Structure 1
Amino acid sequence: MKTSDFYFNLPDELIAQVPIKDRSSSKLMVLDRETGEIEHKIFKDVVDYLNPGDCLVLNNTRVLPARLIGEKVDTGGKIEFLLLKRTEDDTWQALVKPGKRAKVGTKFSFGNGKLVGEVVGLAEEGSRIVKFHYEGIFEEVLDELGNMPLPPYITERLEEKERYQTVYSKHNGSAAAPTAGLHFTEDLLQTIKDKGVDIAFVTLHVGLGTFRPVKVDDVLNHEMHSEYYMVDEEAAQKINKAKANGKNVICVGTTSCRTVESASDENGVIKESSGWTNIFIYPGYKFKIVDRLITNFHLPESTLIMLVSALANKESVLNAYETAVENEYRFFSFGDAMIVK
């Protein structure tokens, strides 16, 4: 299976740069994975594809404002940190630009000294291990000084931080938003509950591997980065109940999908669990839990389009993407959505 098998032509002007005003008014493409048939709807119509007793699975991770702009303590040289993951208390793995300024032992100041980071080690792919010094609560200092780590294909400034959070975000830890969830409003979630659909919250802290391109020709040689996930007892019970009753489990986003597939045993039973997953889902994968998927439109040749192509078939998905381009759907994080049913 070649990476190039998942290529499609995407005009730059279809990459959404800013979120639309009303989250639930984006376009929604409906793809029937059995027939390949396509319908065009508005996202709030998604409720029509959810039935009483179904279980909707949402990733309630919260994006850290993990992009810090500061300066080298002794020279004043500008520096940019992107926090990737906490390795222990007050110590983080971070990408640093320019990296040549970030030698072990070097200190950097953010917010006129409110936060000071000292490089204490080197990590994989040129990242650094940084120990932070501050007064108070780290998350509050970061919230004051940090910026949202928007994907590299978004060049516009985000006016409101919360638009890169889902309305149900809860647990801090992501370097990127689970973007399929950005379309839901409180009102839409209430409408879904009122219809008798169970909502289960799981957590997967999205890493920057989400944005990394597949650099190998053969898909099977690609290695996924590990990401931390949590499934509690309540979520496990809701998902297992839907499966036992022959109802649909609908995952919102590839992150929710990878979480429940990681937490499932061979018999398709979810267990309360937490840990690190590097599950890579591509065509040929046998889903144990997921019946339907709500997702945004992804990068060509990405692991995300490969996952969608595993649930539907590759030809149907690529045809849907070509149809999305023809109909000027908006792509990527702030773009439109698709439900694979």
Structure 2
Amino acid sequence: MSHNPAESVGWSVTAVASKQLVYGLGTLGYEFSSDDHRKSFIAKITYMMKSAAEEVVSWLSDLGGKKPAEPTGLESDPDDPRQMVEYLRKNPSEAKGLIWTLIVDQAPIYAISPAGTDEGEIYARLIELLDGQARGDAAMDGADSGPDGMKAGDSEACIWLIGVAGRLGGRTIELRSGQIVPVLEVERADRLNGLDIRELVDMTTAGAAETKADRTQDRTSLTDNEIDERERSRLRGFLNRIHFDSRNLGVTSRDRALNFAVFQGFSINNADLWARSDFATIFADDISMESIDIEKSAFERGDGDTREVEFRFYDPTYTRNVEKVFRYTVDVSGVQPITVRMRHSDEM
């Protein structure tokens, strides 16, 4: 049975604070309003797949020779994000009919709803993020692996989590499962962003390649697949630990600051295209998270709402307590949190 974070903090969906600020961090999902709604997408995606296959048959026939057999046995699955993305890219207006959700611990906690004049741009952004998330899942699972092992998506985004800045307007919606979740209103497309882990996937691929090179010198007897899976497992463990320690509903000032700081930790922090993000540096050094501390900032100004978020890491191979500390000062007084300053240090 899935754990619902909303239940764990005793939320009553009938008593949602109106216009409460939220900065949520989780995975992107979508749901259908009913079984009939889902069946309609099965028919639509099947038609799309059949039309595409028939175009290929027609093209091959035009080349001459024996006419290929008509396409049969096409199976559509509207729950497959890759098929859904392909369909929505060709039929973007259909995105409005889906219930888009923010998921934490495999359970929807919010239904994402455009508010204001950016509706079209917001739905386009949701489709883009769903595409990147499917690519990120494939990279993590090794589905993109070829004969040379793991491959990153080059210029294509590999999304791990999404950050959503919005407001709770007091509305709720019932999902097909019967679960009722608050509606999170998003006013602008740029308040929907994905945590792109291409950088970490590239580093994982490089680590696997280095291990394979070492194997030629009889340093290990692992197969290519075993090496790839070991590196992917290390990446999954690193990401899951950070997400596990920071999972929340993104409602309180503390939680909004934490979620945004996690997002910042995976962002490239200067103009150097070869620079690593803060957390990529941690991953490369193979050191472990010790704690996350959050407190009211002494640098708060005026009517701001500012928090200090501190991530502490340690190297378990050292006998001395060598630590790397990343500190982010985050102002969460507005709908979109902002980073006031970032500080890094090494402590003994």
Q: Specify the TM-score bucket, using the shorter chain as the normaliser.
A: under 0.3
Indicate the structure whose relative CO is greater, using CA pairs within 8 Å and at least 6 residues apart.
1
Q: Which has the larger radius of gyration?
A: 2
Larger proportion of helix: 2
